[in-house]
Structure 1
Amino acid sequence: MNIDFHYGVAYLVARTAGLDVVQATTVAHSCQYVDDATTTGLLFFSGGETYERFASAHTMYDYHNTESQLNRLVWTPFHFLPAGSGTTLEEKAICRPDSDIAREVVRRAIRGAGAQNALHRLGVTLHTYVDTWAHQGFSGIESDFNKVRSLEAEDCTSTDWRARLANATEHLAEEVESDVLTRFFPLGHGAALHYPDQPWAKWSYVNGKGQTVSRDNLPDFIAAADMACRAVRGFLAKDEAFEGLQGLPEPVKEALRQQLSGNRSDDPVVRLQALSDSASLGVIPGLEEAIPTYIDKGIGSWKYVATGIESNDDGAERPAYNPAFEQSDYRHFHDAVKEHRFVVTQEILPGHGLRIA
C-alpha cells in the first residue's frame, strides 16, 4: 500500500472510528512514516547525547535488500507479517490477511493504550495490519513464494487498438522487469512491481512454487480499512476483542470503494490529494474536511521539529539536545517502532514457532 492508503485512508478511518483531528493525524502520520523512516543508528547531539533509532523501511533498490539478513528485522515485522501457517519456516513466514498473529499484534497495541506514545504505536501497528491484505502471499525472508513469473494485470479498458497495443507493450516490459527483480530482490513483493499497492488492480502471477495466484485488490483494501476501523474503536474502548466491534458504516465503506476504484493515477501522492479533495467536499459520509498535509522529511517534518535537521538523513548535522525532544512525535514514533519490533520478533512470533531474529 502507498501513501494514499497508509496516510489518507488511515486518517479517514481513524476519524470515522472516533479519534479527533489531532489524534487521527498522529495515527495516520505514524502509519505512513513506517515507509519513510529509513535512517537507522544513533542520532548524535552536539553535547554528546545520543538516541537510538531502527529503520522501519528500506528503499526498494537499497543493496542491503539482497545482502543483509538484518532485513528480516525490517520487512518481516513491519511489512510482511508472517501468518505462522504451515510446517516449514518458509511457509510460516508467508504473510496472510488478518491472520491470528496479525490480530495479536493489534491486541498488544490496544493493551498499551495508556502509554505516552500509544497513538504512534497504534499507527505503526495499523501499517503492519493493513499490509497483511496488500502483501499476502509474499514474505520478508528469501523465498520461492516471492518469485514472480507470468505477471498479468487487467488494467486496459480502452477499445482503441493503439491503446491496447501500448498496453501490451507496457506489460511485456513489466514482465522483463519483474523477471529481473525476481532474480535480484528475493524479499517481499519487489518482483510484483506496483500491483500489490494499487487499490483498483486486478492481477495474477505464477510464483516460484509454480502456483498461479490471482488477486483483486479492491475488496481486500476495503476489508483492510474496515478492520482498521474496528482496531481504532478497540483502542478507544480498550477492548482487545476489537474484531467484534463495529467496522466502517456501509455508506462510508461504499464511498471509499468508489474513491479507491476510480482514483487511478500512477502517482500515489496525486491519489492522496484527490482523496483529500473529495473528503473536503463531504464525499465521505460524516466527514467534511481535508486530510492534513503530510511531510516526511525536511522543514516541517517530525524530525525537523524535534531536531532541526533538514537533510533526508542526519548528514553532518549535530543538533543541540533539548529536553523537549523527549515529548516529540519523532521520539515517540521511534520508540513505538522499537517496541513493535521487539514484541513481534521476540514475543509474538516465537510464541507461534517462528524465530527470525
Structure 2
Amino acid sequence: MNIDFHYGVIYIAARVGGMTPSDAQTVAHACQYVDDATTSGILRFKGGETFERFATAHKLFDYANTENDQNRLVWTPFHFLPAGVGESLEEKAVCRPDSEVAREVVRRAIRQRDSETALHRLGVTLHTYVDTWAHQGFAGIESPWNRVHLLEAQDCTRKGWLASLELAVAHLIERVETDVLTIALPVGHGAALHYPDQPWARWHYIDGLNHFISRHNLPDFVQAADMSCRVVRAYLAGREDFETQPGMPDDVKDALTRLLDTNRDLDDNLRLRTVCEWVNAGRIPRLKEPVPGYIAKGPGSWKYLATGLSCDDDTGDRPNWTDAFEKSDYRLFHDAVKQHRFVTTQEILPARGLRIA
C-alpha cells in the first residue's frame, strides 16, 4: 500500500473509529512513516548521549541484497508479516491477509494502550496489519512465492491514454520486466511491480510454484480499512477482541469504496491529495474537516522537529539532546518500532515455529 492508504485512509478509519483529529493524525503519520524511516544506526548528540534507531524501510533497491540479514528485520515484521502456516520456513514466512499472527500483533499493541508510545505503536502496527492484504502471497525473505511470471492486469487508466499497439508493446515490456525482476529482486513483491499497492487493480500472475494467482485489490483494501476502524474502536475501549467491534458504517464504506475505485492516478501523492479533498469536502459521511499535511523528510518532518537535522546523512552534525527530543514524535516512533519488532520477531513468530531473527 502507498501513502494514499497508509496516511489518508488510516486517518479516515481512525476518525470514523472515534479518535480525535490530533490522535488520528499521530496514528496515520506513524503508519505512513514506516515507509519513510530509512535511517538506522546510532544518533549521537553533542553531549555524548546516544539514541538507537532502526530503519523500517530500505532505500530504493537496497533490498536487492538478499544476503543481508537486515532484510529479514525490515521486510518481515513491518511489510510482509508471516502467517506462520505451513511446514517449511519459506511456506510459514508467506504473508496472508488478516492472519492469526497479524491479529496477535494487533492485540499486543492494544495491550500497550497506556504506554507513552501507544499511538505510535498503533500506527506502526496498522501499517503491518493492512499490508497483509496488499502483500498477501509474498514473503519478506527469499522465497519461491515471490517469483512472478506472466503478470497481467486490467488497467483502465492506461487503456485510456495508450493506443492499442502501444498498449500491447507496454504489456510486452512489462512482462520482460517481471521476469528480470523475479531474478533480481527475490524478496517481497518487487517482481509484481506496483500492482499490489494500487487499490483499484485487478491483476493475475503465475507464482514460483506454478500456481495461478488472481487478485482484485478493491474489496481487500476496503476490508483492511474496515478492520482498521475496528482496531481503533477496540483500542479506545481497551479491548483486545477488536474483530468483534463495529466496523465502518455502510455509507462510509460505500463512499470509501467509490474513492478507492475512482482515485486512479499513478502518483500516490496525488491520490493522497484526492483523499484529503474528499474529507475536506465532506464526501466521507459525517467527516468534514481538513486533513493535516504529511512531511516525510526535511523541515517540518518529525526528525527535523526533534533534532534539527534535515537529511538522512546525519553522521556529521550532532544535535543537542533535550527534553523536547524525549517527548518528540520522532523518539516515540523509533521506540515504538523497536517494541513492535521485538514482540513480533522474538515472541509471536517463534511461538508459531518461525525463527527469522
Per the shorter chain, which TM-score range? Answer: over 0.9
Task: Name the SS for the 1:67 alignment partner.
Answer: coil
Residue in structure 2 matched with residue 236 of structure 1 by the alignment: 236
TM-score (norm 2): 0.97
Residues matched between the structures, number: 357
Counterparts of 1:24 and 1:130, CA distance in 2: 16
Counterparts of 1:281 and 1:176, CA distance in 2: 43
Distance of aligned partners of 1:234 and 1:148 in 2 relative to their CA distance in 1, 3 Å threshold = same
Residue in structure 2 matched with residue 342 of structure 1 by the alignment: 342
Residue in structure 2 matched with residue 352 of structure 1 by the alignment: 352
Residue in structure 2 matched with residue 98 of structure 1 by the alignment: 98
The answer to whether the 8 Å contact 2:121/2:337 transfers is yes
Residue in structure 2 matched with residue 190 of structure 1 by the alignment: 190
Task: Name the SS for the 1:227 alignment partner.
Answer: helix
- Over residues 327-350 of structure 1, what are the superposed CA-to-partner deviations in whole Å (9 max), with x where a residue is unaligned? 110000000000000000000000
- Over residues 120-151 of structure 1, what are the superposed CA-to-partner deviations in whole Å (9 max), with x where a residue is unaligned? 00000000000000000000010010010000
- Over residues 22-57 of structure 1, what are the superposed CA-to-partner deviations in whole Å (9 max), with x where a residue is unaligned? 000000000000000000000011111110011011
Distance of aligned partners of 1:46 and 1:157 in 2 relative to their CA distance in 1, 3 Å threshold = closer
Query: Amino acid of the residue matched to residue 110 of structure 2?
Result: I
The answer to whether the 8 Å contact 2:63/2:187 transfers is no
Residue in structure 2 matched with residue 257 of structure 1 by the alignment: 257
- 1:62 is displaced (CA, Å) by 1.2
User: Percent of aligned positions with the same letter in both sequences?
Assistant: 63
Query: Amino acid of the residue matched to residue 277 of structure 2?
Result: D
Distance of aligned partners of 1:280 and 1:183 in 2 relative to their CA distance in 1, 3 Å threshold = same
Distance of aligned partners of 1:90 and 1:113 in 2 relative to their CA distance in 1, 3 Å threshold = same
- 1:236 is displaced (CA, Å) by 0.3
Q: Which moved more, 1:226-235 or 1:63-72?
A: 63-72
Query: Amino acid of the residue matched to residue 354 of structure 1?
Result: L
Residue in structure 2 matched with residue 276 of structure 1 by the alignment: 276
Q: Which runs of 5+ in 1 are unaligned?
A: none
The answer to whether the 8 Å contact 1:31/1:126 transfers is yes
Counterparts of 1:166 and 1:338, CA distance in 2: 47
Task: Name the SS for the 1:19 alignment partner.
Answer: coil
Task: Name the SS for the 1:66 alignment partner.
Answer: coil
Task: Name the SS for the 1:87 alignment partner.
Answer: coil
Task: Name the SS for the 2:340 alignment partner.
Answer: helix
Counterparts of 1:224 and 1:276, CA distance in 2: 19
- 1:160 is displaced (CA, Å) by 7.9
- 1:181 is displaced (CA, Å) by 1.1
- Over residues 303-338 of structure 1, what are the superposed CA-to-partner deviations in whole Å (9 max), with x where a residue is unaligned? 001000011332522111112211110000000000
- 1:59 is displaced (CA, Å) by 2.5
Q: Which moved more, 1:137-146 or 1:64-73?
A: 64-73
Residue in structure 1 matched with residue 107 of structure 2 by the alignment: 107
Counterparts of 1:216 and 1:102, CA distance in 2: 21
Counterparts of 1:43 and 1:155, CA distance in 2: 44
Counterparts of 2:261 and 2:50, CA distance in 1: 46
Pairs within 5 Å for 1:1-357? 1-62=1-62, 65-156=65-156, 163-357=163-357
Query: Amino acid of the residue matched to residue 291 of structure 1?
Result: V
Task: Name the SS for the 2:101 alignment partner.
Answer: helix
Task: Name the SS for the 2:66 alignment partner.
Answer: helix
- 1:158 is displaced (CA, Å) by 8.2
Distance of aligned partners of 1:200 and 1:64 in 2 relative to their CA distance in 1, 3 Å threshold = closer
- 1:69 is displaced (CA, Å) by 2.0
- 1:213 is displaced (CA, Å) by 0.4
- 1:66 is displaced (CA, Å) by 2.8
Distance of aligned partners of 1:64 and 1:189 in 2 relative to their CA distance in 1, 3 Å threshold = closer
Distance of aligned partners of 1:157 and 1:42 in 2 relative to their CA distance in 1, 3 Å threshold = closer
Counterparts of 2:17 and 2:45, CA distance in 1: 39
TM-score (norm 1): 0.97
Query: Amino acid of the residue matched to residue 83 of structure 1?
Result: A
The answer to whether the 8 Å contact 2:64/2:184 transfers is no
- 1:211 is displaced (CA, Å) by 0.7
Q: What CA RMSD, in Å, does the superposition of the two structures yield over aligned residues?
A: 1.4
Counterparts of 2:178 and 2:163, CA distance in 1: 22
Counterparts of 1:60 and 1:216, CA distance in 2: 26
- 1:162 is displaced (CA, Å) by 5.8
- Over residues 69-100 of structure 1, what are the superposed CA-to-partner deviations in whole Å (9 max), with x where a residue is unaligned? 22100000000000011111111100000000
The ranges of structure 1 where at least 4 consecutive aligned residues each deviate by more than 6 angstroms after the TM superposition are: 157-161
- Over residues 212-257 of structure 1, what are the superposed CA-to-partner deviations in whole Å (9 max), with x where a residue is unaligned? 1000000000000000100111100011000000001111101110
The answer to whether the 8 Å contact 2:43/2:53 transfers is yes
Counterparts of 2:162 and 2:308, CA distance in 1: 52
The answer to whether the 8 Å contact 1:156/1:167 transfers is no
- 1:165 is displaced (CA, Å) by 2.3
Task: Name the SS for the 1:68 alignment partner.
Answer: coil
Task: Name the SS for the 1:270 alignment partner.
Answer: helix
